[in-house]
Amino acid sequence: MSLSLRPTDATLGAVITDVKLSALDAAAWHDIESAFLDYGLLIFPGQHLNAKAQLEFALRFGEIEVLAEGMTTIPIANKTPDGKLLEAESDRMKLLRGNEGWHTDSSYMRLASKAAVLSAHVVPASGSQTQWADARAAYDALDDATRARIAGLAAHHSYFYSQAKIGHQVEVGAAYGFFAGESPLRPLVKIHPVTGRAALYAGRHAARIPGMEQAEAEALIKHLNEFICQPPRVHTHHWQPGDVVVWDNRRLLHRACPYDYSQERVMMHTRIKGDIETESALNARLMAA
């Protein structure tokens, strides 16, 4: 390893300081790629990437998942394009507040996400944090009875469900490109396609478990989510403008922490597509029909 890498105190995450992401050589990229698989979350302070450089960095991890309005890198910002702070009751703000629940990106899409790059541009003076939790370490720490109980179980993931839970009625067919119909079905235990390691896979979009009564399914999903998001499996990053992070959506959950919404917060997000063989929903073929 030629990089200077400092692991966090948690089971996931490392901070890398002596590298310029906009000018990586092959050796540095090799180290970053293997650290990404080892730590799940990499934090690069002080990079100040522009949108083009962020996209180029994200492309090293794979193809880009196109998000709203055909954009490959989207602002996660509490202001309108003409610079006004979002109203608390606006749909856009409810979408952002949704990020405050533990989740893994695009689990409600036919193809779940592989990874995401997020950078800080404007940070509230009173601070802003994001947290990540290690669902792989959680699987390793799980008791045998729960492991046996969840083996073979899968959950339907739904954005309509997770947003409704926080009082946001997403319209079916709304311009987010989500499924209007059946929600993708995903195993509660995900085998990582590269490392072969098992991780719990749930988060706030996990809505229903086929064959299980709803109250029981919700209690199980809640229990798994809470178990994942316990120390030493949680890392909190305090953002500074210029910071860039990348995380593995196949292994981690993450959430935004509440901040002072009367202050501007501008982040840029680039999402990397999952591999079709390993991040497709179990029912994707049925759904495509």
- Residue showing the smallest CB distance to ligand OGA in the complex: 256
Q: Which ranges of 125-201 would DSSP assign to H, the alpha helix?
A: 135-141, 144-150, 159-165
Establish if 105 lies at the interface with ligand OGA (CB under 6 A): yes
When binding is defined by CB under 6 A, the residue of 130, 225, 270, 280 that contacts ligand OGA is 130
- Which residue type is seen at 277? E
- Residue showing the smallest CB distance to Mn ion in the complex: 105
Burial class, 165, CB count within 10 angstroms (exposed 0-12 / middle 13-18 / buried 19+): middle
Cβ burial 83-120 (10 Å sphere, 16+ → b, else e): eebbeeeeeebbbbbbbbbbbbbbbbbbbbbbbbbbbb
Piece in contact with Mn ion (CB under 5 A), picked from 17-25, 73-81, 103-111, 225-233:
103-111
Give the CA count within 13 Å in the CB-facing half-sphere of 190: 35
Q: Minimum distance from CB of 105 to Mn ion (Å)?
A: 5
Establish if 105 lies at the interface with Mn ion (CB under 5 A): yes
Indicate the pairing of strand 244-248 with strand 154-157: unpaired
* Comparison of 19 and 274: residue with beta carbon closer to Mn ion: 274
When binding is defined by CB under 6 A, the residue of 99, 107, 158, 183 that contacts ligand OGA is 99
Could you say which residues in the range 50-89 bind ligand OGA, by CB under 6 A?
76
Q: Minimum distance from CB of 4 to ligand OGA (Å)?
A: 25
* Comparison of 105 and 243: residue with beta carbon closer to Mn ion: 105
Establish if 41 lies at the interface with ligand OGA (CB under 6 A): no
Pairwise CA distance, residues 10 & 172, whole Å? 39
When binding is defined by CB under 6 A, the residue of 256, 268, 272, 281 that contacts ligand OGA is 256
Closest CA to 118 of 242, 262, 279: 242
Establish if 248 lies at the interface with Mn ion (CB under 5 A): no
Establish if 118 lies at the interface with ligand OGA (CB under 6 A): yes
> Three-state SS for 157?
strand
Establish if 254 lies at the interface with ligand OGA (CB under 6 A): yes
Q: Which residues bind Mn ion (CB under 5 A)?
A: 105
